[in-house]
Structure 1
Amino acid sequence: MMSDSLTATGTFNLASRSKRLLGFIVDMAVVFFILLLKYLMASLAMRFYSTFGQMFFQVIDAVLTLLAFGYFLFCDALPKGQSLGKRLFSMSVVGYPYATNCTPFQSFLRNACKMLFSPLDGFLVLFGLRRRLGDMLAKTIVINA
């Protein structure tokens, strides 16, 4: 296990903890912005009493909900393994131990763990390979791009 840690730090240019935190904050800002739009659209929908207007806003509500959760769960499967936060801070999610592109399934595994075990998941970044529980499950690592 320790030799894996030494090999990975020599092979991969690991992203720092602070860059990962800043990238996470940006990605959460994107999700919260989408949810804010959802809230604003819901308050706007109250002004429309027609059946068509209500249906239209229900569809918009569902689309924005799916967009927020979709971005949260699959953002690391965007081109080059870069969500908006990772792109801004020059990081990328790649496969581990082989640097392959992050797949949608890997992105889902990484981020579902973040959703379910957030405090524990974030705590694990402080040690060794700086890999979260989600990274270990998805066999990924976050590197400098």
Structure 2
Amino acid sequence: RTIIVPLSDNEEYEEAIIVHERCLAGRMNVLQEDHQNTVESLNNLGSVYAGLKKYEKTLEYYERALNGNEKLLGKNHTSTLMTLENIAVINMYLKNFGKAEELYQTALEGYEGQLGKDHKNTMKCARLFRNSLATSGNEEERLLALTTAYPWLNEDDA
């Protein structure tokens, strides 16, 4: 498991895809799709495709990982929320702003409930959500509500 991840970090993406796909196939065969290690492999493969900017393929793997995490861990588990946030990021790259904002809001609400407003994951998600609202340009009311709930978001621009 630890050998695979550094391949992605070293931009040896094609080799990483082969290794991750082999790992996923083995886990699907032995553990089935609804096992946490298989879900982890789905997420890892999605991350490699994201590095290659193959965002449609990335979404395919991230969404399968999200379904697995929701079944195994529940909708508000931090691993599920991180996968949801990853899907939001990819939707931003694909310029699916409305979908990204919906996903960020769901993830942010989950992080707040699980970790509190001041946790680093909550704060990161709030920043990403703010950026998506600002990028789409048509969500002034929601942006105002977000920056009211998280006043420090305004300080990031200073």
Higher relative contact order (CA 8 A, sep 6+): 1
If each structure's helix is expressed as a fraction of its own residues, which one has the higher value? 2
* TM-score for both structures, normalised by structure 1: 0.27
Highest Rg: 1 or 2?
1
Larger strand proportion, structure 1 or 2?
Answer: 1
